[in-house]
Amino acid sequence: MSNVDECEYIAAFHPGYYIADIIADMEISPAEFATRMGTTVKTLSQLINGQVDISNDLAKKLSDTMGTSVEVWLNLQNAYDKKRY
């Protein structure tokens, strides 16, 4: 699974794409972000690479880490799924 799919001129970005940008903007390592998030580096890597989807648990961890709502992450996943399928 790629983290970017093209569907009739519409690019669909997996939520992991945004997380990679956030980590870069924070100027921390993925390992540090995974620690702050309370997950493993492997899970974070899979998320960034579009290999796993945002679950309720991951959405909660992301929202706690970044001060966003759970719905932000679930909505990003839902929008990606709608464009992709």
Res. 82: pLDDT tops 60: yes
Question: What does the alpha-carbon distance between residue 10 and residue 5 come to, in Å, rounded to a whole number?
Answer: 8
pTM listed for this prediction:
0.82
Phi/psi zone of residue 16: left (φ > 0), alpha (ψ -120 to 50 degrees), beta? Answer: alpha
Stretch among 6-10, 28-32, 72-76 having the lowest mean pLDDT:
6-10
Residue 12: give the domain boundaries. Answer: 4-84
The kind and range of the H/E element at 6 are strand 4-7
List residues bridging with 5 in a β-sheet.
Answer: 12
CATH number of the domain encompassing residue 24: 1.10.260.40
Question: What does the alpha-carbon distance between residue 51 and residue 8 come to, in Å, rounded to a whole number?
Answer: 22
Mean pLDDT score across all residues of the chain: 90
Residue 19 has a pLDDT of: 96
Beta-carbon contacts of 47 under 8 Å, excluding residues fewer than 6 positions away, are 15, 16, 19, 54, 58
Structural domain total, the chain: 1
**Mean predicted confidence (pLDDT) in 39-60:** 96
